[in-house]
Amino acid sequence: MTEPIRIESNSLREFVANVLQKSFVPESDSLLAADVLCTADEWGIRSHGVSRLRSYYEMLQNGRIKAIAKPRIVRDNPTVAVIDGDNGLGMVVAAAASKIAFDRGASMGAAWVSVFNSNHFGIAGYYVVKGLERQLIGIAMTNTPAVVSQFLGTERMLGTNPIAVAFPAGKEPAVVIDMATSAVSLGVVENALREGTMLPPGVIASATGTWSTDPHDFVNNGSLLPLGSNSLGSAHKGYCLTALIDIFCGPLSGAQWGPFVSAFRTPATNSFRQVGKGIGHLFGALSVGAFTEIDTYHERIDDWIRTMRSSPPIVGNPPLVIPGDPERNAAQLNRALGIPLDQTVALDLERLARAVCPL
Amino acid sequence: MTEPIRIESNSLREFVANVLQKSFVPESDSLLAADVLCTADEWGIRSHGVSRLRSYYEMLQNGRIKAIAKPRIVRDNPTVAVIDGDNGLGMVVAAAASKIAFDRGASMGAAWVSVFNSNHFGIAGYYVVKGLERQLIGIAMTNTPAVVSQFLGTERMLGTNPIAVAFPAGKEPAVVIDMATSAVSLGVVENALREGTMLPPGVIASATGTWSTDPHDFVNNGSLLPLGSNSLGSAHKGYCLTALIDIFCGPLSGAQWGPFVSAFRTPATNSFRQVGKGIGHLFGALSVGAFTEIDTYHERIDDWIRTMRSSPPIVGNPPLVIPGDPERNAAQLNRALGIPLDQTVALDLERLARAVCPL
């Protein structure tokens, strides 16, 4: 792998926003979507960053995603709202929906907003950190195209279905969880394919459901394994988690679910059926102040964080971290040095720039 | 392992309730606690069933748990309540707290009830299925004594912290998730110790944090591994899940947390500190009717269930299941044939009966 090219973070945001605007995305929406994508790269989650700009661009160009979408509330209760995303950019729909969840959580103590007819929303963690200053515990989840097999299954039946949860802290930085519920994310397999390397055991299965270390077996109708990898590692738990998020985001919201979530990159093995509309999300908010005095909670969570960080690691490892530390450390570095782009991604963005603005 | 002895389910409930009553637990509370314990055995979760009666009995006898406790609401908002469990039996406190969460969820659309100063509440799944008939999606979680290491850690810093979520269905049986967030539960290690067998790799670590298959290494200050087992299997995700539940149940509620959760069976390695009161729980309720028409949701979830069940399994395996199927199948069998008890457990209960009612 060659050295990444580093691009100053505001320049990259501007570039991404411009590409989206050329596809008729309104300016404010384009800035927001650019911020989600570039934040992913800043946090070191490159598989969800600007490397995906081309697929968003193409989906906007061919009308698969609406550039000018009008998400609207279709069901409205004080603590629960349901939003039709109008097939807009997932990042734009998700930002609007999570804002509603947070506003209601702040006033009601607890709230949920479910979304259907949306699209891939980037990193789940982006949305939940927006509630931290308001002392809200934020929850975000989404279903995604089916690439994961059920426990003991053979087919691609569920997405990597990520969940993010952020807990505000006092003097310490927040605890921010953001994780796919499969053993590894699709990006790990894509990397192995690109670099011609093998995968560790317990990550993918071939089309028959048997473990494989060859990423090509995934391409040939194989699947990602649920978190836990097999019975000994309790992969039924990974299956439970992925299923949980799929039900919250699909059957509950009215979006597609399971093997029928629209797969624009990796077709699922099952024959497609229309069981709902688009991709689904669920956003939750819990107001810390509804549970306890905020200062008291801050003291407790700061103590929790310091306690977890101060426990001795396995010899030879760096100090232990809390969820959110790796992304914060990456962001600090990348904001100072510029956002790192793989050379293939940088080349692709250059080509995209020429396609958007031919001279 | 010898054949289990089977006891008729109502007789076993009556026996358990009697033992608790002899320890001054009020009749209705004793019946409830007996139902939680016997339901665990019926569901096939024997580690959480009547095999624990002795430890509850002893804690009641020596005043570690209050027989006559008065849990009370100490913070009260329409969608969020906080309950002081008054150091009562966890099953009694949890049933009361989850009932409040469900009542408020039904009227408000969404609600959370957090609990501190409680004790071990048995199986998390018991509480969430109570919301199914009311068309509530129920959530239950608890922290538990620290036996799990952090990702790349060496010490017992977190509990096996289970979570249960139940989704109502229409014509199909409900989707009921109930899982510890460690790679395996403590019961698996206890079984290996009792039967003198080794453990599979990826389940426990020795005191230095290195993998072991010898259950005695767990006893000697070792730890259970987080779900995912190691970096390749994404054990940082298991750590995130366990941490998530600990923060919801501890720092948010005012209960003990992390390494300081009172460990009556397996002492944690860290020096004990008083950071809160007792064990903590969190119960959530989402009303399906607040999100969508119930009939519409029923059609969707039934379709989801049938789709997941009909996908082909790995050759040689039985048909695929949805979360809740294994426990339902076990319960059907055990209600018909009687609840199975290991001979050691049956003997222990006999001894307990003689201690409670000496003739």
The mean pLDDT value for B166-194 works out to: 94
The mean pLDDT value for B278-285 works out to: 98
Partner residue opposite B155 with nearest CB, options A114, A167, A311:
A311
Contact B202 A233 (CB under 8 A): yes
For residue B279, the surrounding DSSP H or E stretch is strand B279-287
Contact B243 A322 (CB under 8 A): yes
Residue with tokens 């490397």: A51
Please state, in angstroms and rounded to a whole number, the distance separating the CA atoms of residues A203 and A182. 9
Please state, in angstroms and rounded to a whole number, the distance separating the CA atoms of residues A193 and B318. 33
| Length of chain A as a residue count | 359
- Min Cα distance B22 → chain A (Å) is 36
* Cα dihedral: B90, B93, B99, B105 (round 10): -90
Convert the pLDDT of each residue in B69-80 to its tens digit: 999 999 999 999
pLDDT band at B271 (very low <50, low <70, confident <90, very high): low
pLDDT at position A272, please?
A: 80
Q: DSSP letter for B284, please.
A: E
pLDDT band at A133 (very low <50, low <70, confident <90, very high): very high
Q: Are strands B136-142 and B279-287 parallel, antiparallel or unpaired?
A: antiparallel
Q: With H, G, I as helix, E, B as strand and everything else as coil, classify residue B223.
A: strand
- Give residues 3 to 62 of A whose Cβ lies within 8 Å of B: none
Measure the CA angle with vertex A227, ends B180 and A218; round to 5°: 165
| Strand blocks (E) in A53-126 | 72-76, 80-84, 110-118
Partner residue opposite A82 with nearest CB, options B153, B167, B291:
B291
- Give residues 314 to 333 of A whose Cβ lies within 8 Å of B: 314-315, 317, 320, 322-323
Q: Which of B111, B156, B114 is nearest to B131 (CA)?
A: B111
Contact A291 B153 (CB under 8 A): no
- Min Cα distance B251 → chain A (Å) is 5
Please state, in angstroms and rounded to a whole number, the distance separating the CA atoms of residues A193 and B270. 44
Q: Read off the tokens for B163.
A: 């979570």
Q: Which residues does chain B have within 8 Å of residue A75's beta carbon, measured at their own beta carbons? A: 290-292
Contact A233 B228 (CB under 8 A): yes
Convert the pLDDT of each residue in A203-228 to its tens digit: 999 999 999 999 999 999 999 999 99
Question: Among all residues of chain B, which has the CA nearest to that of A317?
Answer: B152
pTM of the model: 0.96
Q: Does A109 touch chain B (CB under 8 A)?
A: yes
- Min Cα distance A295 → chain B (Å) is 11
Average pLDDT, chain B: 94
Question: Among all residues of chain B, which has the CA nearest to that of A199?
Answer: B232
Please state, in angstroms and rounded to a whole number, the distance separating the CA atoms of residues B290 and A79. 9
| Length of chain B as a residue count | 359
Convert the pLDDT of each residue in A253-311 to its tens digit: 999 999 999 765 444 445 689 999 999 999 999 999 999 999 999 999 999 999 999 99
pLDDT band at A359 (very low <50, low <70, confident <90, very high): low
Q: What are phi and psi of A75, to 5 degrees?
A: -150, 135
Q: Which residues does chain A have within 8 Å of residue B258's beta carbon, measured at their own beta carbons? A: 304, 307-308
Chosen from B240, B253, B302, B310 to mutate, greatest number of chain A CBs within 10 A: B240
